Structure 1
Amino acid sequence: MIEVKNLSKTYGSLNAVSDISFSLEDGEILGFLGPNGAGKSTTMNMICGLLVPDEGKIEINGIDLLESPKKAKKHIGYLPENPPLYPEMTVMEYLKFCCELKGIGKKSKEESSRVMYLCGIEHVKNRLIKNLSKGYKQRIGIAAALTGDPAVLILDEPTVGLDPKQIIEIRNMIKSLSKNHSIILSSHILPEVNALCDRVIIMNKGKIAAIDTPENLSTDFQSVSKLYVEVEGPKEEVLYTISSLQGILAVEVVKEIDENIFGYQVEGEKNKDLRRPLFYALAESRMPILEMTVKKMSLEDVFLHITLNENTSEEELNHVDHL
């Protein structure tokens, strides 16, 4: 759906975006993350045709954006962080206006009705936009992006400022839209990206630091295997039994739960499954495990590791999966 190749953009001496490449597949939700100043907004603006890159190529549904911008933009629907709504218009008037801007013409009423149905706003079509809640305004913005039935939706912070119920509703709607559209989703709400996105791009300092599934990012950036276990038995014996196992790097008591029951954090070699050897060793010593949890890096942990660690290695900064 989208193919970005060797894209670069500078502002004077500042390399806002430096030689990045990635793709968006059919029906995929691609998360787009990065701290302020990482080049994320510049990249999204170039993909939407709002900025011209200094170098590189962008193809939208097989159409070169720089060579045929009008034709390529027909395949893009864009929701900015603050949708440009006209508060004195009704919902229907605004969507018909959006249709006319996209050259839909005589079928604008029919198209407006279609996108209102997809976004669940039919019942407010005759209401003034200024009288609607933030959640409905976001839905109207998404409906406007959907006019013309573009192959690609680019959504910038679609749930910002919404209450928990509205966030869930918008997330469910985005998931539903992915059945017929490819979606780029920019958000600072990392659990949202983790829940919705098939793959995630993390940008840092104008470059792509990582592209992969949330699950793979969690695995690849975790330097050790971690477990939390609660065990009943003499503390020193439990510590000795666990630390004696092959592949164990560290074990410490992190919680006292009850008399003779403690919580332990166990670290082992990367990608080593510690659960079975731990179970058998403690069972043989008649020290029952009451709870066991595998501890993985969250997407937030990965994001912070990449963006805050000044000593991030070149190998990690080039952890890019172009599939």
Structure 2
Amino acid sequence: MASSSNPKRVVQNRRLLMERKVEMLILEAPQFADELARRHWMRILHYAEPASIAIVKEFYANARHFSDGEEPFFSYVRGRRVPFDAATINTFLNTQWPEDTASCEFAAARANRFREVDFGDVERVLCIQGGHFYRNLQDKPLNIKRAFLQPLYKYWVVLLHANISPCSHVSDLIASRAVLLYHIIQGRQEIFDCAQTANSKAPLGHPSLITHLCELAGAINRIGRAQAEMMRQAFGASHPDFMTPAEYDAFVAWPGDQAPTAGGGGSSSGAQAMEEDGTEVEDIEDDEDDYDEDDYEEDDSDAGTEILDLDEDEDDD
């Protein structure tokens, strides 16, 4: 953690909020699939790369903004500069962003704390007839219940909470994410704000995407990948192959527990194995009996000799 402040207070104790696979959504809603294909957003239906906890936490520690200058939108991981600006995210999504557009509408609204957002229009677009925002006593919009959303936008909410703006509480749509859904944009600003939050318990989002960006920047070197591959191979080699059902019936299971097969092949093989084992045991027991009898006779003869010797000694006395 190459942070100028205490790194443990920044990201060490914060958990990761993993992306989720939502590929089945396109099978349930063809209109939703067509819209994703038109926007070239099919890549966000699943995570781009298996997340590395150490890489993600180092990314967030070094992405923290400590000056009042322009927002950098880059971080340093393993000494490599990892950008996460609009151009990088759009390259990942394979999306062409208009060059004459300085910033997206959602970024401008968020910078202004949503003061100029027409929440009434957001309600009309997202909600069914009679649907509305739940508001506080100051008439400030708080959230929209899932039941109030248009059927098509419910699929968008699932994708939004899974991979665009990750959230662990997915039952309701809060006001900021409702505006995000209203504008339908990519989640570049969400990554930066997640690093800037002062809440030590806030989860770290987009770990899979961040790992993928670090991979593209060369922060995850070939030595690290080779070590990971070596560990996977060693772990796989340490676990032998499991027995097939036939092998289990032949070598492990008792005759009464063996699975019946066509023609009784499985049971007969197991019984035959048990009979062969029993024959070997009987042969060993016979050998042991013969050996004991011989030893017993020799012991008796020796004992008798000793008794005679004692009698002779008594006669001499």
TM-score, with length taken from structure 1: 0.29
Name the structure where helix makes up a greater proportion of residues.
2
Structure (1 or 2) with the greater strand fraction: 1
Pick the structure with greater CA Rg.
2
Higher relative contact order (CA 8 A, sep 6+): 2
